[in-house]
């Protein structure tokens, strides 16, 4: 039995990871300050004697004897991370410093949940890990994009200078049950609007693309990355290379929800990327042939069922 710390463990992705780690027979400490996470996401785990919930902000040091750390703590949707941009960048940077310091002290292996946002509005398509990105350092998304880029730098420096055992993954758009209905992400926005019979809001001309990964595929990739050989530290893209326009996504959701919602178009937010698609050949090579298994139609079906219950 390993003792594993998950920061941001009460969030959308973190709660699924905690659940999986417990199922595999580990002891899990879930750390969250509930800025965007919710007890509702992990209440079903509370009776497990090997699950511990701690209210804590990663911008402050935390001490525990653990074997592994998954560092997920950070608001990840534009409305949430732009609500308090200073808090967002402090969470990424100071959170990384505090968790890396803990990993160094107790000789734990630590995984950083980085993001495809480090590529910014990419000039290279699709995106390999070797691409350095096209990021505005002073834009409205910079608190998140640059915070995550700085966290990657810190992870590499702690590894090179102090021999900390690190792993870096870059997460592409992920969806599934336990998404916050008000998080402003495109999948949850479209589903909620469709279920409530509202018009579906598309920013720009709707031809911009994203690649959508179901949360179970991401969790599988995270666990395989943590278990990979110590010499492979990443970064590695974890995402679904299937590419869809916003209009295609909206049409799929309207069809699956049998909604009468119409598409309405609004101005594209500043610095919003026009394309996003991962190259996952490195993940396939290094992570025991990992690749996404769940098709968008199947994942949307499960996610829509979750939101139907949530919105009752």
Name the packing angle between helices 142-162 and 85-106 (round to 10°): 20
Query: How does 105-138 read in b/e, with b if 16+ C-beta sit within 10 Å?
Result: eeebbbbbbbbbbbbbbbeeebbebebebebeee
Concatenated DSSP letters for 253-293? HHHHHT----EEEEPPPTT--S---B--HHHHHHTTT----
Hey, is 214 helix, strand or coil? strand
> How deeply is 198 buried, as exposed, middle or buried, from its count of CB atoms within 10 A (0-12, 13-18, 19+)?
middle
Exactly one of 144, 158, 175, 214 is catalytic; name it: 144
Task: Assess contact for 182 and 80: CB atoms under 8 A.
Answer: no
Question: How do beta strands 3-7 and 27-32 pair?
Answer: parallel
Q: CA-to-CA distance for 131 and 140, rounded, in angstroms?
A: 22
Question: How do beta strands 27-32 and 51-55 pair?
Answer: parallel
- Spell out the residues 6+ positions from residue 205 whose beta carbon is closer than 8 angstroms to its own: 265
Which backbone phi and psi does 276 adopt, to 5 degrees? -160, 115
Tokens at residue 98, please? 């505090």
Asked if 144 is an active-site residue, the reply is yes
Of all helices (H) and strands (E), which one includes residue 80?
Answer: helix 78-83
DSSP label at 116? G
Q: In angstroms, what is the C-alpha Rg of the chain?
A: 19
Just list the catalytic residues. Answer: 144
């Amino acid at each position: 039995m390993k003792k594993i710390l998950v920061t941001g463990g009460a969030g959308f992705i973190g709660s699924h990871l905690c659940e999986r780690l417990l199922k595999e027979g580990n002891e899990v400490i879930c750390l969250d300050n509930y800025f965007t996470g919710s007890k509702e996401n992990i209440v079903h785990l509370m009776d497990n004697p090997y699950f511990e919930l701690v209210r804590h902000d990663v911008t402050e040091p935390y001490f525990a004897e653990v074997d592994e750390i998954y560092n997920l703590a950070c608001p990840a949707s534009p409305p949430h991370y732009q609500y308090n941009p200073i808090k967002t960048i402090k969470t990424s940077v100071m959170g990384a410093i505090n968790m890396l310091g803990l990993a160094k002290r107790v000789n734990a292996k630590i995984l950083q949940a980085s993001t495809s946002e480090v590529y910014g509005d990419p000039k290279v398509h699709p995106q390999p890990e070797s691409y350095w990105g096209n990021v505005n350092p002073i834009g409205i998304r910079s608190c998140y994009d640059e915070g995550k880029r700085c966290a990657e730098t810190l992870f590499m420096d702690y590894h090179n200078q102090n021999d900390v055992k690190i792993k870096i993954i870059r997460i592409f758009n992920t969806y599934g049950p336990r998404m916050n209905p008000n998080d402003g992400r495109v999948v949850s926005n479209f589903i909620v609007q469709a279920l409530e019979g509202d018009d579906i809001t598309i920013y720009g001309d709707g031809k911009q693309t994203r690649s959508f990964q179901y949360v179970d595929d991401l969790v599988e990739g995270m666990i395989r990355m943590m278990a990979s050989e110590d010499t492979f530290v990443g970064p590695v893209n974890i995402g679904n290379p299937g590419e869809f326009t916003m209009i295609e996504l909206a049409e799929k959701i309207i069809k699956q929800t049998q909604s009468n919602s119409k598409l309405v178009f609004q101005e594209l937010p500043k610095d919003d990327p026009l394309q996003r698609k991962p190259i996952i050949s490195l993940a396939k090579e290094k992570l025991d042939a990992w690749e996404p298994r769940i098709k968008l139609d199947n994942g949307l079906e499960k996610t829509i069922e979750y939101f139907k219950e949530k919105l009752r």
